[in-house]
Amino acid sequence: MEIRDMQKKANELIKKIDEKTGCSHYKETTFLHLVEEIGETSRQIINPKIKRNSLNKENLKKELANCILFLSKLASDYELDLDEAVNSNINELKRRYDINDSRNLQKRKTYLKKTRMLKKPKRKKLVKKENTNKKHKKNR
C-alpha cells in the first residue's frame, strides 16, 4: 500500500468513527490523540528497560500503527501529502549523506579525518602508580 493510499484510508476511517460516535476529530484533538498514541508506544518500549513488563511485539505493532493512523489524519487535516513528504525527505537524506555514491562518501570521510572532525579513538596509556601506602613501605 502506498503512503498516499494509507493516508486516504486513515482519513476515511476516522471520519466514519466520528460519525458513529457523534464526536469530531479536529486538528487539535487529532494531534492530542497522536501524542497519546506516542505515549503508549513509548510505554511499550520503555517498560522492558525498567523491568516492568517484557516487550510485547504485538502491542508495539498495534501502537505504532495507531501512531501512523493519527499522523496520516493530521497530515490530511493540513492538506499535506505524506507520500511526497517522505520521498522528499528520503532523497534529501541520501543527498546529505552521499548514500548513492560510495566515492563521495569516502571523500567525505577523508575530509573529516583531515579536519579532525572524525577522530580515531585514542588508546589510553597505562601509567604505573606508585604505592603511597605507608604500611606497605614499612614492611619492605
Domain boundaries, the chain: 3-80, 84-118
Question: 58: Cβ–Cβ under 8 A, 6 or more apart, which residues?
Answer: none
Amino acid 110: pLDDT: 75
Task: Give 3-80's CATH code, choosing from 3.30.70, 1.25.10, 3.30.450, 1.10.287.
Answer: 1.10.287
What b/e sequence results for 105-116 when a residue is b if at least 16 CB atoms lie within 10 Å of its CB, and e otherwise? Answer: eeeeeeeeeeee
Structure pTM? Answer: 0.67
Distances (CA, A) of 95 to 75, 99, 103: 25, 7, 13
pLDDT at 85: 96
Backbone angles phi, psi at 21, to 5 degrees: -90, -15
| Residue spans of the chain under pLDDT 70 | 101-105, 116-140
Distance CA(14)–CA(9), nearest Å, equals 9
Predicted pLDDT at 122: 64
The grid coordinates of residue 104 equal 563521495
User: Which pLDDT does position 97 carry in this prediction?
Assistant: 85
75: left (phi over 0), alpha (psi -120 to 50) or beta: alpha
Residue whose C-alpha is closest to residue 1's, from 85, 91, 82: 82
Hey, what's the cell of 62?
498495534
Taking the C-alpha atoms of residue 38 and residue 71, their distance in angstroms, rounded to an integer, is 10
What cell was used for 5? 493510499
